[in-house]
Every structure is written in C-alpha cells, then in structure tokens.
Amino acid sequence: MDKKVMSILALAAIPLLSIGCQDTTKSEASAKTSAGTNTPAEERILVAYFSCTGTTEQIAEWIAGQTGANLYHITPEIPYTAADRNYRDSSSRATVEQNTPSARPSISGSKEGMENYDILFLGYPIWWGQCPKIIYTFLESYDFSGKTIIPFCTSHSSGIGSSDTNLHSLCASSVRWIPGQRFSATTPKETVKEWINSLNIHKNTAQDIGVFNFDTKTVLLNSGHTMPIVGLGTYSLLDDVCVNSVSESLKAGGRLIDTAYMYHNEESVGQGIRVSGVPREEVFITTKLYMNQYDHAGEAIEQALQKLGVEYIDLMLLHHPGAHDVDAYKAMEKAVKDGKIHSIGLSNYYVEELEAFLPKITIMPAVVQNEIHPFYQENDVIPYIQGKGIVMEGWYPLGGRGHTAPLLQNEIISAIAQAHGKSSAQVILRWNLQKGVVVIPGSSNPAHIRENLDIFDFELTDEEMAKINGLDRNEKHDWY
Ligand code: NAP
C-alpha cells in the first residue's frame, strides 16, 4: 500500500470516528472526544465482508487499501457451493436460508478484538434481493453499540435497497448507521475511492471538532467541514439592503452568511455574494427549511439552491421543530449524500426536542442554532449540545431588533467594553465566542458590520466572563 496515502487517510478517518461516538464531552470552547485512545486511526477501522465469488472481496480490499483498515473475511463454517447458490432451485441451501427469517448460518471462527474498532465497513453480495443471512449471524455475534457501520453490497443490478434498512434494524440504537452503497463487478477502483471521499473523511483529528480556532476564526464541524465562527445574520434584510449588507460583510473579511427560506432573501444573499467578488467557495452559506416545507423538503432544497444560485449549501437547518421534521431531515441527509448540502443541523431544538429527535435520524446534526444573549444564556442547553460534538450557534446575539438597547447600555457590559476600548456589541459577541457559541449578528449598517467582525484583538478575562454570565435572567426575546 502507498504509505503516504495510508498515513493521510489514517488521520483522515478520525472525524468519522467522532461521528460514531456519542459520549463526547466539552467545556468552554474546547472539546474532548471519546476517541481518546492512542490507537492509530487505521487500526480502529475494520472492513468485514462475506464473499463467495471474489467480487465483494475485491471491493473490500480496495476500501481497506484506501482507508488503511484491517480486513476480516466472514467465512461460513460450511462453504457455499455453486449448487448451494443456485437461485433457480427453490430447494437450494441459500434459497431456503434467504426464505427462513430465523436462519443464521454458522461462521467459522471469530474476530478477536472487535471492541477495539470504531468503524466497520460491512460488505456482502446481494442474494435474492437481500443480504445473505450469514451477515445477520455476524451482526448478532458482537456488540457494536456506539460504533459506526457503513454497509456496502455487490450486485449485477439490484440496489442495496431494503437489505440496508433490514440490517440496520438488527442493531442497537446507539449504532451510527451510514446509508450503504452498491457496487458491481465492473465498478472501477476510482468509484470506490470517490465514495470513501464522499463519506466526509478529512485530514483533521477528532480532537479538533468543535474547538474554536481564534487564528483562523473557524471551527471544525463533525461533518468534516469548517465553519467561520462569526458571520452576518440577514433576518429582516431585504432586496438591495440585503445585497449590500452581504457584500459589505464579505468585503470586510466576513465569510459566514445566515439566511432562511422564511427571510424571503435567499436570492438577495446569492446576489450579495456575487457582487462582493469573493469566490463562492470561500463563503459559508447557511439557510433553513421552514415548517411549511417539511412535507416536500427535497423540492424545497432544490428551490433554495436555485434561489441562492449555488451548487451546494454549506449548512442547512430545520428552522423549528414541527410536523414532518424527521422526513425533512432525512431529505437533507439524502442531499448530503448527493453533494448538495455539506452539513446539516437544527434550529430552536432544546434538550427535550433533541432527545426525541436524535434517535430517529442517521447523520448527527453539525450545528444547533438557538436564541442566546446575556439575558437568555441557555446555560443548561449549551453543554448538552456541545457534549454531543455539535456546534452551538446563537441567534439574537445582541438581543434582537428592538431589544438591543438594554444589552448594549447595560452597565456591566459597558464597563467591560470601556476597559478593552471596544464597543458593548463587540464584548457580547466575544463573550459568545469564548463560550464556544458561533455568532451571526444582523446589521445593515456597514460600520456595525465591520465592528462586529473586529473581535479577535482582545480577550475577556475569566472574571469578565463570570460577570456577563451573571446577567442571565431567562428573558427570551422571541416565541420560539
Ligand atoms: P441581533 O443580531 O441580535 O440584533 C440586530 C440589531 O442589532 C439590529 O437592529 C442592528 O441594527 C443592531 N446592531 C448590529 N450590530 C450592532 C452594533 N455593532 N452596534 C449597535 N447595534 C448593532 O438580531 P437579529 O439580526 O435578528 O439576529 C441575528 C441573526 O440570527 C438574524 O439576522 C438571523 O440570521 C438569525 N436568526 C435566527 C432565528 C432562528 O429562529 N433560527 C431567529 C432570529 C434570528 P443595525 O442594522 O443598525 O446595525
């Protein structure tokens, strides 16, 4: 194996590991992940496969070569002969097994040290439209709780279809199941490589996820993508005002723009980006699906892409909990797979809502965006969200339009601002960043837009942070 490729991919695999880990804990602006062993990443990935004709074996070897993973051949105690696999014979061994729900063909031997693996690629041929029953035996023979399983199958024509969902249903709910992929005997190695790359395996370490980098002004999301930690909110900015505000922000060095279907300004945001002259790839665009779009989310995602005039959306959120939100999230998951959205997340979901929602989805949200300002701090919610490796983003950082004065004129905040030679707005934004909360202040005033980005040349002391923390009065400024 090419050692260089192997070592790059060894590092590359780690963010995916963290996606599979549920017990991440995190303190202010720093993350500690559960991948806290010294085992090299490639030794924590296993490609387990069952192959009779060599087709699945070939794909398994390519995956192992690409990821540096170990290989494990699931070998039947009694090998399958060609006659056993004759699907035209209704009494052949495999036909009978496939038609018997309780059939569990025995496996020869077992895999030592399965508990040391975090990611399992699981390969099998499609038999009679389904996964061979020996894979059921395999899945039921080990405890895969908390691990990530990525199935792949080989077939002439059938897709992975319900074999994927049927296998998933055999697993504990803590297993992270990545929707599977079908290959054929003629699939080129390059296609397998592209698939592995599409799994958002990147060259960063799990330790970086959720940690704010104040030099690059970004944070690494659990999706493997990087997000700026300060940007521009565009709620209530319409038409030319929106175009100009977006363009001003980008020209001033801002790289994150937050919009939503409900703001009626996705076209203007797209136009503002083009007017700014900043290349699209340098801009991180967040938009949101509204509740009235949840029952036709696939179509709504296409509309958002069209309105923004982009080929992909960096981050799409569900704006609120609501009817069909799981369906809408699944449509976003599909769009991630199709390359139309890089990262997905939620907005206005609190602990109770997340507890109910997360077990129903496959891709862990990368971001949750909720109301957060010194008078409404969500100190109970933030650690819960960050503890799951999800980045917290705050809306109404300055209290929201019509509510900014009591915050900006607050005596404690003003005194801290004066001590640093900064404005109250800058202090509030900085306080958020030091708590590990991404900020998206809204403004149509170019001077304010520049001011709000200029928050990296000072640092609040622990004492100052504590004073602002003390201002919490559970005062929500909007209904959701
Ligand atoms: P905000 O950022 O808390 O406050 C905006 C107000 O602050 C505007 O009146 C603005 O006036 C003023 N302002 C901005 N910078 C200032 C500065 N440096 N000094 C003094 N005043 C300043 O409220 P928001 O814009 O409504 O919320 C932020 C973003 O969060 C929204 O734009 C939107 O993208 C997002 N959001 C999301 C949700 C959700 O449900 N997910 C809900 C609400 C908002 P000027 O224009 O004069 O600067």
Give tens-digit pLDDT for 293-350: 999 999 999 999 999 999 999 999 999 999 999 999 999 999 998 889 999 999 999 9
Measured distance CA(88)–CA(184) in Å, rounded: 21
Return d(Cα 42, Cα 10) in angstroms, integer: 5
DSSP 218-266: EEE-TTS-EEESB-EE-TT--HHHHHHHHHHHHHTT--EEE--GGGT-H
DSSP string, 290-343: -GGGGGGHHHHHHHHHHHHT-S-EEEEEESS--TTHHHHHHHHHHHHHTTSEEE
Q: Where in the chain is the domain with CATH 3.40.50.360?
A: 41-207
Query: What is the sign of the dihedral through the CA atoms of 316, 321, 326 and 327?
Result: negative
Q: Mean pLDDT in the chain?
A: 88
Q: Residue 241 corresponds to which tokens in the numbers above? A: 């005002």
How much is the pLDDT for 199? 78
Q: Whose CA is nearest to atom 8 of ligand 1?
A: 401
Q: What is the pLDDT of residues 370-416, one digit of tens each?
A: 999 999 999 999 999 998 889 999 999 999 999 999 999 999 999 99
Fold for domain 41-207?
Rossmann fold (3.40.50)
Average pLDDT (76-98) is 95
Ligand 1, pocket-test mutation among 346, 372, 396, 479, most atoms within 8 A of CB: 396
pLDDT of 41 over the 70 cut? no
Per the structure block, which two tokens stand in for 324?
């069909």
Does the pLDDT value for residue 179 go beyond 90?
A: no
CATH 2.70.170.10 fits 209-469, yes or no: no
Give the best-scoring range by mean pLDDT among 29-43, 351-365, 447-461: 447-461
Nearest CA to ligand 1 atom 34: 233
> Which atom, in ligand 1's list, is nearest to the CA of 234?
32
pTM: predicted TM-score of the whole model, two decimal places: 0.69
Is 80 exceeded by the pLDDT of residue 244? yes
Average pLDDT over residues 14-33: 32
Residue nearest to atom 26 of ligand 1 (CA): 400
Q: Return d(Cα 410, Cα 471) in angstroms, integer.
A: 9
CA 49 to ligand 1 centroid distance, Å: 53
CA of 327 from ligand 1 middle (Å) equals: 30
Domain with CATH 3.20.20.100 in the chain: 209-469
8 Å CB contact between 277 and 248:
no
pLDDT at 81: 96
